[in-house]
Amino acid sequence: MNASATVLAQQPLATAEASVARRSAQPLPSPAVLRQRLPLNDALAARIHNDRNAIRAVLDSRDPRLLVVVGPCSLHDPVAALEYAERLAALAPDVSDQLLLVMRAYVEKPRTTVGWKGLVYDPHLDGSGNMAEGLHLSRRLMLDILETGLPIATELLQPLAAGYFDDLLGWAAIGARTSESQIHRELVSGLDLPVGFKNGTDGGLGIACDAMRSAEHPHQHFGIDDLGHPALLQTRGNPDTHLVLRGGHGAPNYDAASVAAARRALEKQGIAPRIMVDCSHANSGKDPLRQPAVLESVIEQRLAGDMSCVASCWRAICSMVASRCPASCATACRSPTAAWVGRRPSKCCVRRRSGCAADTESPLHV
């Protein structure tokens, strides 16, 4: 073999070595394995089915109540999350004539660049990235929240992760960054639960409208089965999608004029005018204390006769400042990780009146 041939023969090996150096792989349990380890019992499965139907009835205006998806922006502390769930579950019967409460149980976080990606990816919040533990902890926590009697909701960010949790969900969201993704539209088309598509980050409605029309239709697409094997997936289409208004580019779109424009845009395309207003993001100017004003506007619009706003989503949290939590709030306040207790790892959220989950005030009351 001459020198040139020797160089050519070595090139594929060098390329392969460079590729391997840029990434590594660790095995994870398949969705089927995790579901087997943390099964959904028949009673909970039946209740989730009923919860989904109740949410559908609100979205379709067959139930006049307001759907409210509320809770921590993201779950990171199981103890705090369960305490919040128990208090929200205790409140739910008192407001059930007017509100259908669903708890946020977000375990994935979309990032504009980099940052903490959620409980699934980094359950210890230290960059260790123990995803196997994160998947187990997330499903365990969701099951525990369901045991309180509440329906749960999450944002479906990574399509490969959806199969680990979709049997537990009453409602799901597709975020502004992913509503344009064909992969996410295909994913939603195969889900047997209501899903909200958020408007684009620029505030435009076209992306979400296209997403709803796409997800309503059957698809054949590449994916993985419950055992984690590559598979051709065939979906039937999801008729239970709706629009989520979250504002964009610093401008809100929750006011009566914006909601009316959204309703007309949906009707023009033959899409049912089912609208949820997200009280955070650009609608609150990223100021958590402005979320109640957004919700008040939604209520005023409904009282004025515009029932196309059938739902609202907002973020609540134990405290915006960890030092405001008394020692009784959580024993973890005395641990080295106290900075995370009662706080969201990124943006601020609305806190309770006293700033602590130990307070008896409603988590909906600011």
pLDDT number for residue 111: 83
Name the pLDDT band for 197 (thresholds 50, 70, 90): very high
Name the nearest CA neighbour of 342 among 330, 354, 334. Answer: 330
pLDDT in tens, 58-78: 999 999 999 999 999 899 999
What residues contact residue 53 under an 8 Å CB cut-off, 6+ apart? none
pLDDT number for residue 114: 87
3-class DSSP state of 262: helix
Distance, CA of 320 to CA of 331 (rounded, Å): 18
First-to-last alpha carbon distance for the chain, in angstroms, is 79
Distance, CA of 167 to CA of 109 (rounded, Å): 20
Judged against a pLDDT cut of 60, whether residue 313 lies above it is answered with yes
Name the nearest CA neighbour of 333 among 84, 79, 74. Answer: 79
Residue 244 in contact with residue 208, Cβ under 8 Å?
A: yes
pLDDT number for residue 176: 94
pLDDT in tens, 5-58: 444 445 554 455 555 678 899 999 999 999 999 999 999 999 999 999 999 999
Sign, CA torsion 216/146/116/29: negative
Name the pLDDT band for 315 (thresholds 50, 70, 90): confident
Judged against a pLDDT cut of 50, whether residue 185 lies above it is answered with yes
Q: What is the mean pLDDT of residues 90-107?
A: 97
Residue 245 in contact with residue 276, Cβ under 8 Å?
A: yes
For residue 348, give Cα distances in angstroms to 35, 86, 314: 33, 22, 12
Name the token pair of 286: 């990223």
Judged against a pLDDT cut of 60, whether residue 326 lies above it is answered with no
Q: What is the mean pLDDT of residues 131-156?
A: 98
Structural domains of the chain ordered from first start: 30-351 (3.20.20.70)
pLDDT number for residue 124: 94
Q: Identify residue 115 by its one-letter amino acid code.
A: G
Q: pLDDT averaged over the chain?
A: 85
